[in-house]
Amino acid sequence: MSDAAFTIAIDGPAAAGKGTISKAVAAHFGFRHLDTGLLYRAVGAQVLLGMEPLQAAQRLSADMLEGANLRSPEVAQSASRVAVIPEVRAALLDFQRSFARRAGGAVLDGRDIGTVICPDAEAKIFVTASADVRARRRFDELVAAGAAISFEQVLADVLERDARDRDRAEAPLKPAADAVTIDTSTLDIEEAVAAAIKAIEARRA
């Protein structure tokens, strides 16, 4: 199959490792990469500044995806809240689908890429890990960045976000029926990336 029409959808909950895996996979195959979560984080950041969610989604521009503040816990929670709004999801849909079918192949990671955004993606991966493991990873990242936060608070945030993403009526977080699931709870980065590449190469073959 031509890479001009090859889309890789990588989904999973927060801090499961899908972003790291997606970037490595994109580099391995020479595909472009889009972290779709940044779209919602950018919208969430604008909402925290007082803008209406739908207006923020409609005015989204590429330069708004570069802000260092997009990785903060406050923006992450705001992103999760705006992501349940159907009108916001619809406003961002065309951007994501256009990116997915770009020439040269594309890797998109998020929470509903394989189920809603690109249900016809040629390869689908669902990356997961236990809540404790994911919270520990996020906690270590935040502490390294100088945040004053407890592990218990991070774990509570992870569980709250999981529930909101999983139980929302619009595009809930779940693996696509034909997705390959990779549990990274006991895998290092190299092992997780290798597992994803192996699954994708099987689909390309």
Residue 67 known to bind ligand:
no
Distance CA(60)–CA(42), nearest Å, equals 8
- In contact, 40 and 82? CB cutoff 8 Å: yes
19 annotated binding-site participant: yes
> Is 128 annotated as ligand-binding?
no
Q: Is 131 annotated as a binding residue?
A: no
Q: Is 86 known to sit in a ligand binding site? A: no
Surface-to-core class of residue 4, CB atoms within 10 Å of its CB (0-12 exposed, 13-18 middle, 19+ buried): exposed
Q: Radius of gyration over alpha carbons of the chain, in Å?
A: 16
Is 146 assigned a ligand-binding role in the annotation? no
- 20 annotated binding-site participant: yes
Do the beta carbons of residue 29 and residue 201 sit within 8 Å?
A: no
Q: Write out the H or E segment, with its range, that includes residue 198.
A: helix 189-204
Count Cβ atoms below 10 Å from residue 163 Cβ, excluding itself: 12
Instruction: Establish whether 13 is an annotated binding residue.
Output: yes
The whole-angstrom separation of Cα 192 and Cα 10 is 13
Residue 18 assigned as binding residue: yes
Known binding residues are 12-20
Known binding residues for ATP are 12-20
